[in-house]
Structure 1
Amino acid sequence: MQKLIETTKGLAPGMGLSVVICLAALALGQRYGAPVMPFALLLGIAMSFLAEDPKIRPGLEFAASSLLKIGVALLGLRITTDTIAKLGYEAALVVVGLLVCTVFLGLWIGRRAGWPAPVALVAASAVSICGASAALAMSSLLPAMKQYRSQTMTIVLTATALSTVGMVAYPLIVDALGFDFHQQGFVLGASIHDVAQVVGAGYSVSDDVGEMAVLTKMIRVAMLPVILLILSIHVARSEGKAGPITLPWFVVVFIALAILASAVSLPAVLTETVSHVSRSIFYVSIAAIGLLSNVQEIFQSGHRALTVLGSTTVFLLLSSILFAAILY
């Protein structure tokens, strides 16, 4: 008990600072009607000099690592097999195929841009799966990413910016193409990175488009545990671990919660509450990662992030439009 109290005291300053920045970001997001995560990131970066204090750093490290993994694990309750049935298996397979192609394209472009493979994979995951959430999940799983936190932040910021642009521009594009609500919803859900921006884009057109967009997006989100599982096995093998593969605890919890959500009809209030908790944890973690980031490295990697994520974003949008025209 005494050890727990001492550990809590050691983590409190850094955690407290991260929470304060998170609350400020929430206030700014509500005031300007903008995504909270970029505010949390930018405020954290602006106050990164505080991370030099040895009393604050342990709490920041905890928030940027262990707390982040808890948030990733809780995402599992958002995944259900009903989504595939509602969307249709043919469309679901197309979405998965686009995701896989985007991951490999993002990896290739990232490596060509001079990024190490782990950073390129995080960037590719941000575009292909679910934006900042996927980037943070992949970053928390890859041991090498601890030394590339600044690049992670640049990827998160760029992915969120591209999602916001997509939320505004993509509905105009699909409307100009004369697509029906099935096609519009498919394109929006298959090409916009973050879930919140998919919701905003879809329901800004109509309820039917919004529902279709969210269903399509959930297929991409549902692929996150699959990719985390494959990556966990790859990381274990690359580290030379013999015998059975031991998955990271947060991946196990993620998969268990996804199975639970698919097998049991959970109360909406429970899933919504857990979703809010997970999102809040991400805000606190992103503030901590911002505090731990190197500002100079962020500026140096900014053009690469825009090149890699921008290129894969355009590919995903054009491919989604093509398959929407074929499928519906």
Structure 2
Amino acid sequence: MQEDTSMFAIIQGLGLAALLSAISMMLVQRLDTSISPLIFAILLGLVLGNVLPGLAGSKWQPGLAFCKKRLLRIGVAFYGINITLQHIAAVGVGALLVDAVMLLSTLALAYWLGRRWLGLDAPTSLLVGAGSAICGAAAILATEPVVRAKSQQTAVAVGTVVIFGTVAMFAYPLLYPLIGFSPEAMGIYTGATIHEVAQVVAAGSAMGNDVAQTAVITKLTRVMMLAPVLLVLGSWLSRRSGVEAVRAPQPWFAYGFIAVVVFNSLVQLPPVWVGTIQQLDSWALTMAMAALGLGTHIGALRSVGWKPLLLAAILFLHLVMTGLIVTHVATSWL
């Protein structure tokens, strides 16, 4: 009997997260916006979770916890269906170099500034850094279990991605005619420095098809780097703990991510299958975001303060300015 009750509770929480996900996706379609449904989901969850705090109570908690943990990891693993090794080969050495330099420098800068200068905790610093350096909300969700972050730390990091990724989405088309980049160079610059995949698509499309195509491939190559970053980060946190018995959790979903990318590169699935997997994966990640929002209280967010926002602002300036220099050097020399 207890098992049935537990299963029913899981289904209830899953149903609630699925409802918010459906509303989020409907909003994206109705508003015809490039904003990711993940963002709408966490915002809806935050509003409902604070207006009706009982939604995050024990009745719904098993299902919401399932979304934030197991469903999230499955979603991150299958996110690799969007990428192939052929994508990486197509962008060339220059784009790979810009991606790698910007990713590593942004993540290192986030940890150093967050810990040493702003006095932030390590999880918040790394989450803001991962969101800025790799692929926005999806990277933050993937990094959360590795750094053992709390819900409010994750929600704050996602909020910074929303703000500065949106600024970048509108600013880059205005910068394009001013900086004198070729369409290919501008595509590399856009894909290597804007936070979310959807934001890259929007900004690239506003600058022309040539820019958009290179930007999306560069961005997906940057997303591909998520898995090795998580593996290295988990290993580093394990060694840094100094206690053999206390180890960072192994991000098995990162191995799954790599496996899906390799499979997607070697096996040509029917387009309808790929589309279905992408849709289901989007549902999984959006449900995880909704569950995260439902479990986050505004009071906890206020207690984090203004420092994560300042950190994200500095990282945004780093991406824009340093990215400009690195892209110019890489595309000129290679």
TM-score by length of structure 2 reads: 0.89
- Tell me which residue corresponds to 1:37: 38
- Give the distance between the partners of 1:242 and 1:105, measured in 2 at CA: 26
Kindly indicate whether the alpha-carbon contact (under 8 Å) linking 2:98 and 2:327 is maintained by their aligned counterparts in 1.
Answer: no
- Give the distance between the partners of 1:51 and 1:299, measured in 2 at CA: 21
Change in Cα spacing, 1:302 to 1:77, as seen in structure 2 (3 Å) is farther
- Tell me which residue corresponds to 1:141: 146
The match for 2:303 among 300, 307, 317 is: 300
- Give the distance between the partners of 2:161 and 2:21, measured in 1 at CA: 19
- Give the distance between the partners of 2:7 and 2:55, measured in 1 at CA: 18
Kindly indicate whether the alpha-carbon contact (under 8 Å) linking 2:200 and 2:219 is maintained by their aligned counterparts in 1.
Answer: yes
Kindly indicate whether the alpha-carbon contact (under 8 Å) linking 1:154 and 1:302 is maintained by their aligned counterparts in 2.
Answer: no
State the shift of 1:167 in Å: 1.3
Q: Does 1:76 align with 2:75?
A: no
Kindly indicate whether the alpha-carbon contact (under 8 Å) linking 1:50 and 1:291 is maintained by their aligned counterparts in 2.
Answer: no
State the shift of 1:156 in Å: 0.7
SS of the equivalent of 2:65 reads: helix
Q: Kindly report the root-mean-square deviation, in angstroms, between the aligned alpha carbons of the 2 structures.
A: 2.3
Change in Cα spacing, 1:248 to 1:158, as seen in structure 2 (3 Å) is closer
Q: Does 1:274 align with 2:273?
A: no
The match for 1:104 among 102, 108, 111 is: 108
Kindly indicate whether the alpha-carbon contact (under 8 Å) linking 1:102 and 1:127 is maintained by their aligned counterparts in 2.
Answer: yes
Kindly indicate whether the alpha-carbon contact (under 8 Å) linking 1:171 and 1:184 is maintained by their aligned counterparts in 2.
Answer: no
Cα deviations by residue, 1:182-211 (Å, 9 ceiling, x for unpaired): 121111111101001101111222111111
Kindly indicate whether the alpha-carbon contact (under 8 Å) linking 1:166 and 1:192 is maintained by their aligned counterparts in 2.
Answer: yes
- Give the distance between the partners of 1:286 and 1:168, measured in 2 at CA: 24
Aligned amino acid, residue 158 of structure 1: T
- Tell me which residue corresponds to 1:53: 57
- Tell me which residue corresponds to 1:319: 322
Aligned amino acid, residue 250 of structure 1: F
State the shift of 1:5 in Å: 4.8
State the shift of 1:302 in Å: 5.4
State the shift of 1:279 in Å: 1.7
- Tell me which residue corresponds to 2:196: 194
Q: Which runs of 5+ in 2 are unaligned?
A: none
Cα deviations by residue, 1:105-133 (Å, 9 ceiling, x for unpaired): 01112212222112211110100000000
SS of the equivalent of 1:293 reads: coil
Aligned amino acid, residue 27 of structure 2: L
Change in Cα spacing, 1:236 to 1:274, as seen in structure 2 (3 Å) is farther
Aligned amino acid, residue 22 of structure 1: S
- Give the distance between the partners of 1:20 and 1:318, measured in 2 at CA: 41
Change in Cα spacing, 1:177 to 1:70, as seen in structure 2 (3 Å) is same
**Share of identical aligned residues, percent?**
33
- Tell me which residue corresponds to 2:119: 114
Q: How many residues align?
A: 323
Q: Which runs of 5+ in 1 are unaligned?
A: none
Cα deviations by residue, 1:252-285 (Å, 9 ceiling, x for unpaired): 3222112212333333333332222222211111
List aligned pairs for 1:221-240, cutoff 5 A. Answer: 221-237=223-239, 238=241, 240=244
Kindly indicate whether the alpha-carbon contact (under 8 Å) linking 1:175 and 1:184 is maintained by their aligned counterparts in 2.
Answer: no
34-43 or 211-220, larger mean C-alpha shift: 34-43
TM-score by length of structure 1 reads: 0.90
Kindly indicate whether the alpha-carbon contact (under 8 Å) linking 2:9 and 2:61 is maintained by their aligned counterparts in 1.
Answer: no
